[in-house]
Amino acid sequence: MGWIVERAHAKINLALDVGPVRPDGYHGIHTIMQSLELRDIVLLEERPAGISLECLPGDPRKQGAGCFLEFDRELLPPRDERNLAWRAAELLMQAAGIRRGVHITIHKAIPLAAGLAGGSADAAAVLRGLNRAWNLGMNQDELAVIAVKVGADVPFCLWEGTAEVTGIGEQVSSVPSPPPWPVLLLKLPVSVSTAACYKAYDELQSPPRVDAGKMLAALTNQDLARVAECLGNSLEAVTLRKVPELVFWREAMEKAGCIGVLMSGSGPTLFGLVHDEEHGHHVFERLANTVKQERKGLLPNLYLTRFLSGKGNDEFKGGAWNA
Ligand code: ATP
């Protein structure tokens, strides 16, 4: 197999509706997911036997972020069987009866435990890459059966792009991607437990619901202003209550000029939509100044990236984005 390189793209939830707990203990969700150009790079190298893994800090500027401001060094994920990429390799090798081994190197640019599905994206990249490298001939649906055992977001990460996702995350229906709209990400150096977030949501008297169908219509029409209006996340209020600093930064993103702001997944990453790349740079600079003026408390990392618009369209071109 020599070696294989796969891109593992981050995602945001443009709309996330969480339903009541199902008899099997999972929550049913209805979400519209969108891949971003921000990505980890996953390198796969054949070995005679076993799985080994290393994680290295990636460079967000070379991995899909046109602008990047770092205040807090991002942590690296575990290098053993706790890593979702390791787990994906293990399950695939079992399912296909493979007796060879693989060394996985992950160049991490997606922040950890952020609501951006970084671990899920790495796992999906391993499934795609090993399927290709070892000519296993599994189709997407067969890979998705393994993917969902690794995590609820992994099936979407196999497809990437734009999709309506239901069930617990295993029902993925791809939809045409909108243009590569720029988007800001703001990630505070806190981690939010997804389980704790769902638990707090279940305890609410009247849990907020979101109409993800409206978002789908806005995307189909490629209507950015309408997409901004339809942003919604059932889990945002509970995470904002747990991490009150997010309220300040959410307002800061609005004041800086974002046309719509929302938390992704169970958080804590906030994303902000902007009119175009020039506006994105302008908003980025304004937010960077706010961060520099604050100087104390929890300071966020900032990223300016873009929607991944269809396959093979994920290279930034032009000086500003490569700087
Ligand atoms: P999601 O949006 O799917 O809930 P997330 O963005 O909130 O995911 P991840 O970055 O996937 O969260 O990390 C969640 C946890 O998984 C972390 O605590 C991390 O230690 C662990 N993890 C395991 N493997 C990885 C990986 N390859 N990359 C990142 N985190 C990983």
Reported as a single tens digit per residue, the pLDDT across 41-79 is 999 999 999 999 999 999 999 999 999 999 888 889 999
pLDDT tens, position by position, 88-134: 999 999 999 999 999 999 999 999 999 999 999 999 999 999 999 99
Instruction: Identify the residue whose tokens are 């093979």.
Output: 312
pLDDT tens, position by position, 251-265: 999 999 999 999 999
Probe residue for ligand 1, chosen from 112, 126, 190 as the CB with the greatest number of ligand atoms within 8 Å: 112
Q: How far is CA 63 from the centre of its chain?
A: 14
Q: Is the pLDDT of residue 155 over 50?
A: yes
Give CA–CA dist 12/15, Å, rounded.
9
Give CA–CA dist 17/297, Å, rounded.
31
Give CA–CA dist 63/239, Å, rounded.
28
Q: Mean per-residue pLDDT for 181-191? A: 96
- Complete domains list, the chain, with CATH: 3-174 (3.30.230.10), 182-319 (3.30.70.890)
Q: Is the pLDDT of residue 318 over 80?
A: no
202 is catalytic: no
Ligand 1 centre and the CA of 225: distance in Å? 31
Probe residue for ligand 1, chosen from 7, 56, 83, 236 as the CB with the greatest number of ligand atoms within 8 Å: 83
Give CA–CA dist 147/71, Å, rounded.
33
Residue 311 confidence (pLDDT): 53
80 is catalytic: no
Strands (DSSP E) along 109-202, which ranges? 162-166, 171-175, 182-187
pTM over 0.85: yes
Contacts of 281 (CB under 8 A, 6+ apart): 66, 67, 304, 320
Q: Mean per-residue pLDDT for 21-48? A: 95
Query: Taking a C-beta distance cutoff of 8 angstroms, is the pair 86, 53 a contact?
Result: yes
Strands (DSSP E) along 3-153, which ranges? 3-21, 27-47, 51-57, 67-69, 101-108
For residue 18, what is the enclosing H or E element?
strand 3-21
**Phi, psi values for residue 81, rounded to 5°:** -65, -10
